[in-house]
Amino acid sequence: MDRSSAPLTPAPLSLRQSMTVLHTWAGVAVSAILFAMFWMGTLSVFDREIDRWMIPQTRLEASDAPVSFDGHALPAFRAAAPDASMWYWQPPRERQPFGTLGWNDPVQGWQTRHLDPATGTLLPPPESLAGTGFIFPFHFSFHATWMDIGYWIAGFAAMAMLVLIVSGLIIHRKLFAEFFVFRPQKHARRSTLDLHNMTSLVALPFHVILPLSGLYIFFGIYLPWSAAVPFGGDAEAMDAAVYGSFNRPALSSPAPAQASIDAMIADAEARWSARHGIAARADVVMVQHPGDAAGFVTVRRVFPSRQVTMDADVITYDLASGAVLKDWSAGPVRRAHGWLSGLHFIQFDHWPLRWLYFLAGLSGCAMIATGLLFWLRAREGRHTPGSARFRTMEALTIGGVTGIIAATGAFLVANRLLPEGAALWGESRAGLEVWAFWLVWLATFLHAAVRRAAAWAEQCAAIALLAMAAVLLNAATTGDHVLAAATRGQWAVAGMDLMLLAAAGVAGWAMLRLRPARVAEAPLPDPALAPAE
């Protein structure tokens, strides 16, 4: 793609030229947001492993001992949450060696605790939002809750991503001829564009289906009419038909008896196994209005371990009698939705696929970063690099790419540095970790605005140092250095440490590649270095 040959006259643009303009400006407008989504989404592939690393008390031995709701969870709920209007339970599974209890406390709001299946006791409160509480929601909401603005920004960015893919395919001149071509020995602009094209094309199906399924998951937010029209605006009727939900108000009179919830789980699993011809397991149990005469129990199969399609079976039981109130399994269209959602959430157990998702996500990050870098490099030779527009894009790019990675490093380091029960200005320990993230991210934008091109290498150095500090602090505060964690079978922790060391290595290499001397290098290829073609 050679922009310098684009005519400056207002003659009608060819398709390729108009797509070049669209690709450039859509990219400039949303790339920093898209990079944040890709980066956090890529990390969310290993959300449970990040949880193990950041919440050391949950680094439990995997156990095959059956965990009973009536025997383990019920006494814990009755002791900790007798007044809650809902109890939420997840039994242990491969990547979560503990039971999870959640309830909405009338005073303190939503509470989450973990249950050690070996002892049947509750672990102390987590004191960190970690991967599933901070990194995963950041991916689709940026934690901007006001009027769902974060969801709308994410939806807009996902639409823009699809526009960028289509326009990028149209403007790429040598789609097949340069599919495998990477020329790092050529000048910086050429090799940046090579890398941008390659990381976009090799993972093209991934780059299309992930934004698309992401939009699909939140169809109720982005297209509220889609639900309002067929159900006459009745959200509850829609939930009942589309998600199999059931609801009835509490009677405010105590239940005469309580049926065995373990028996309900066993009944649900037997029904699903017979219906689908596989060994089905329930992974979510919700008790509504516990202790009330109108109480009911919802047993669900949200994330089957060996199936992509998610959340396609729900059975609701009467709490007092154990009778089935509603037995719902998804129809074909809803199952297609479940497959698209499931491929986006990847909570199924498939390690090769999990690593491939991680790699594809990183290739997406590289695609966006090299796209931004190409925009800067294409302009620093031609335009006045001191213009306000160029300087703004430069700061946004550096803070948006290396800045958010450094901020993630600061989040991990803060997690290992803050003592148990830490609190400052009314913020809990979990809140302080989040503050560390936001403050460091803000600082990287300011740093980039002041230091300009030199900020690339300096922020890469910061990433390398933060990643190594996180590994050392994990060893110092928990004793689980890589070897110790691996011998204990704590592969989530050992893997996190190894990934942090790899990140430090890559950041160190990038620091050398992005030195100002290289960035400012002459745009013409050096004939001595270019191979004969």
Interface ranges with another protein (CB under 8 A): 176-177, 179-184, 198, 201-203, 205-206, 307-309, 339, 343, 350, 352-353, 356-357, 359-360, 363, 531, 533
What are the residues facing 99 on neighbouring strands? Answer: 115
DSSP result, 151-220: HHHHHHHHHHHHHHHHHHHHH-S-TTTTTT---TTS-HHHHHHHHHHHHHHHTHHHHHHHHHHHHHHTHH
For residue 401, give the nearest of 15, 38, 13 by alpha carbon.
Answer: 38
Residue 181 corresponds to which tokens in the numbers above?
A: 């071509």
Torsion angle, CA of 244/248/253/259, rounded to 10 degrees?
-20
CB 270 → another protein: shortest distance, Å?
22
CB 336 → another protein: shortest distance, Å?
11
Residue (2 or 533) nearer to another protein, CB: 533
CB 201 → another protein: shortest distance, Å?
8
DSSP result, 243-312: T--------SSB-S----HHHHHHHHHHHHHHHHSS-----EEEEESTTBTT-EEEEE-SS-TT-S--S-
For residue 296, give the nearest of 238, 241, 251, 242 by alpha carbon.
Answer: 251
Rounded to the nearest 5 degrees, what angle is found at the Cα of 199, between the Cα atoms of 197 and 204?
90
CB 397 → another protein: shortest distance, Å?
24
CB 456 → another protein: shortest distance, Å?
22
Helix and strand numbers, DSSP H then E, in the chain: 21, 7
CB 39 → another protein: shortest distance, Å?
18
Residue (45 or 238) nearer to another protein, CB: 45
Residue (209 or 501) nearer to another protein, CB: 209
Backbone angles phi, psi at 328, to 5 degrees: -125, 130
Residue (52 or 196) nearer to another protein, CB: 196
Contact 214, 154 (CB under 8 A): yes
d(CA 440, CA 436): 6
Residue (202 or 217) nearer to another protein, CB: 202
CB 426 → another protein: shortest distance, Å?
45
CB 98 → another protein: shortest distance, Å?
26
CB 218 → another protein: shortest distance, Å?
21
Residue (230 or 331) nearer to another protein, CB: 331
**Pairing state between β 99-105 and 324-329:** unpaired
CB 175 → another protein: shortest distance, Å?
12
Rounded to the nearest 5 degrees, what angle is found at the Cα of 308, between the Cα atoms of 305 and 312?
90
Q: Is 248 left (phi over 0), alpha (psi -120 to 50) or beta?
A: beta
d(CA 231, CA 241): 9
Residue (184 or 230) nearer to another protein, CB: 184
For residue 44, give the nearest of 346, 432, 308 by alpha carbon.
Answer: 346
Contact 315, 352 (CB under 8 A): no
Burial class (CB in 10 A: 0-12, 13-18, 19+), 382: exposed
d(CA 470, CA 100): 27
Residue (213 or 397) nearer to another protein, CB: 213
d(CA 39, CA 35): 6
CB 205 → another protein: shortest distance, Å?
4
Residue (127 or 194) nearer to another protein, CB: 194
CB 344 → another protein: shortest distance, Å?
11
CB 395 → another protein: shortest distance, Å?
31
What DSSP character marks residue 132? I
Torsion angle, CA of 465/468/474/476, rounded to 10 degrees?
-90
